Homo-oligomer: A and B are copies of this chain.
Amino acid sequence: MVQHDPYASRTGGAEAIHPRLDPVVYGGPQPGQAHALNQDQLASFERDGYLILPDLCADMLDPIRRELASLKQRMAGDEDLYTEPDSDEPRTLFRVHAWSSLLDRLMRDPRLLQPVEQILGSSATLMQSRINIKPAFRGKSFPWHSDFETWHVEDGMERMRAVTAWIMLTDNHACNGPLYVIPGSHKHYVSCAGKTGRENYRTSLKRQNLGVPRHETMRSLLQDRPIRAIEGGAGTLVLHDCNLLHGSPDNISADPRSILMFVYNSAENPIVAPFGGLPPRPDYLCDREAAPLQPLPQPLQPQELAA
């Protein structure tokens, strides 16, 4: 007997807004952990669906940037590297933790992993890592979507128990195509219309069409929830819930917007067969075999990062 899927989407039915059935924060305060979030921070994440931690990773910027320059060369020609449609310029580098021992260690840094494990209330696995470069002048906008919707339909993530941690590698300001979020939207689930085609990810990473709520749905969600642009200096860490609605406008400024992103799933949240019924997406979008991460005992030191 087929089980009912509470987060069914793109099954050919009408679009609908459903309540979230899962907690947002699974754990609680961890007074013994130096890098854990405090009660206020946890409450803020629970309410808004995201949290901004300025300067948290400022000391890591130079080593990460050097690593990025090196990765662009080492990864050239590999399927993990996506280029701009009209040039060879790298736009997205996937699975960067597998290409870089530095980033592999960084994803286990307690400054990232303690808050993540707190939110997930469990150990975490790394589902996806990437560096996104939104180029100056021609960085394109991205429509509203929930990551969880895609991960559920196309990857088989069972429940809402995943969190994205991203570090700003350049300043993210109001005018360089910042991430727009709708605080509170993570408590609703938009079951979208449409049906997923095979290998949808090949086009959806360039221009998402499916899993994008319709205008009238967005209008109702935005009715009393103003959009917030996530701004911060390079080195800012942002945590956001897997079901937070987000999008972004064009970048017509002279400043690229670059971020390093780790997607953590709870080790207790199974990745099963995709709920959309199609074959799963490639490993670089969802590592289906990832083992629980062991946190580093101490934050990385810049001299280690330089190694």
A interface residues with partner B (beta carbon < 8 Å): 136-137, 141, 143-144, 174-175, 177, 180, 215, 218-219, 222-223, 226-227, 229, 247-254
Other-chain residue from B144, B174, B252 in contact with A247 (beta carbon distance below 8 A): B252
Return chain B residues, CB-CB under 8 Å to A137.
215, 218
| A219 CA to B138 CA, complexed, in Å | 13
Q: Are A180 and B252 in contact (CB under 8 A)?
A: yes
Return chain B residues, CB-CB under 8 Å to A248.
252
| A144 CA to B249 CA, complexed, in Å | 15
Q: Are B175 and A254 in contact (CB under 8 A)?
A: no
Q: A174-B174, A227-B175 are in contact. Are A215 and B252 (CB under 8 A)?
A: no
Q: Are A222 and B254 in contact (CB under 8 A)?
A: yes
Q: Are B250 and A219 in contact (CB under 8 A)?
A: no
Return chain B residues, CB-CB under 8 Å to A226.
175
Q: Are A250 and B250 in contact (CB under 8 A)?
A: yes
Q: Are B219 and A177 in contact (CB under 8 A)?
A: no
Return chain B residues, CB-CB under 8 Å to A219.
136, 254
* Minimum Cβ distance to chain B for residue A213 (Å): 10
Q: Are B253 and A222 in contact (CB under 8 A)?
A: yes
